[in-house]
Structure formats: structure tokens, C-alpha cells
Amino acid sequence: MTENPTGPRSPSRALTGARSLPAWSLLAAGVLAGGLLGGTYGLVKTPTYTATSYVVAVPDERSDSATALGFAQAYGRVAPQLAVLGDAQVWAGVPVRTLRSSVQTATSPDAPMVAITATSSRPDLAADMANAVSRALTRHANDSQADTHVELRQFARATRPDGPSSASPAVTGLVGASAGGLLGGLVLLVRPRRNTGDPVRPPSVPGPATAADVHGQL
């Protein structure tokens, strides 16, 4: 009685199966798998919300706009510091480490304005953190107004965002499908080629003559 082993397929059979697949099947499989993975990631990932508040530097009668622009650049760098975030945490209701990781500032080279942007999984908290940091920054800046001759005012408060700023499942699915199609194309390029004809046999080389054959020819 003979036994038929049911182990894994040999590499030669796997290569033969890869050769027999049509070219479009690898691309379709990559696009489908990538789209499913990307869409699933977009569904399970926690959405993030973004809110932005703006403060503007205003010069007094003893200063000018160029000075206000320079101080706005400086205030943009000061906003993420502990002195400002320590006061902002009281109004935002979150620890300093959360503000440090969730709040970013940006300045303009043309306007004396500072944009304070906060991100959170809660839309109301994103607005609260942005407003809290802008309030603390304004307070610290105006404590030294007598020396800087520049007043920092709130230009626009952050409002509760209506929708998430993170990518939707449709977008992540499209990105995943594109990546899967690209991967399928790469596999298609490196897979073994199918043989289209009979293998070319190497030319036969006559073996060396024996001593008896040589003696008969002499």
C-alpha cells in the first residue's frame, strides 16, 4: 500500500502556477487587497479634528509694523514653551504633555499674525486647546508690552470643527488600492516568464573514440 504525501507544493509547481496566471489577475488582486486594507484602516482608525485660532501683533505709537512682525515671529516660537502651556492647561483642562503633542503654531513672513492649531479626537477639545493656548500667549505677551511696545490681540477664536480633518475611509481605500496595484505590477514584472516553444537542446558532442576504433582505422 502506497501513501500519497499531502505536504506543501514544490517550488516548481508554484512557479508553474504563477506562470499560468493571466497578467491582469495579479493587478486585480493587488488593487482589491489594497483597497480592502485601506478602507478597513480608515474605518477602524479614530478620526481627528482640527481647530485653529489666530492672534495678531499690533504696534503702539512708539513702534512700527516691522517691529510687530518680528515679535509675531518670536511669539510663534514661544507659544509651545512650558511657560505658556502651563497656563493654557488650566483653561483647556488637559495636561501639558497633551498640549505639547497636539498644538502647533505657524507664522507668516508678511503678516504679524500667529496661527495656533490644535488636533484632537474630540472636536470641542480641539477648539478649547487652541483657544486656551492663544489666551495664554496673549497674556504672556502683554505682560511685557511696556518694553516691547507691541500688543498681542486675539484676531479670531477657534470654533468647533464640523467634520474630521483625517482622511475618510474612501480616501484611505483609494490610496490602498493604488499601492496594491503598484505592488501587483512589480510582482508581474519579476515573476517567471512562460516558455512559448520547445526548449532548445544543446548540440551533441561526439564522445572520444576508443583505442580499438582508432586502431581499425589505421
Determine the Cα–Cα distance for residues 162 and 50; give it in Å rounded to an integer: 10
Question: Residue 46 burial (CB < 10 Å; 0-12/13-18/19+)?
Answer: exposed
Q: What is d(CA 30, CA 39) in angstroms, rounded to the nearest whole number?
A: 14
Contact 88, 99 (CB under 8 A): yes
Query: Taking the complete model, does pTM exceed 0.85, yes or no?
Result: no
Which of 61-70, 137-146, 209-218 shows the lowest mean pLDDT across its residues?
209-218
| Burial (Cβ within 10 Å: 0-12, 13-18, ≥19) of residue 61 | exposed
Task: Give the pLDDT score at 15.
Answer: 44
Position 42 scores a pLDDT of 59
**Angle (nearest 5°) at CA 189 between 23 and 30:** 55
Is a pLDDT exceeding 50 seen at residue 66?
A: yes
Kindly state the average pLDDT of the residues 120-128. Answer: 92
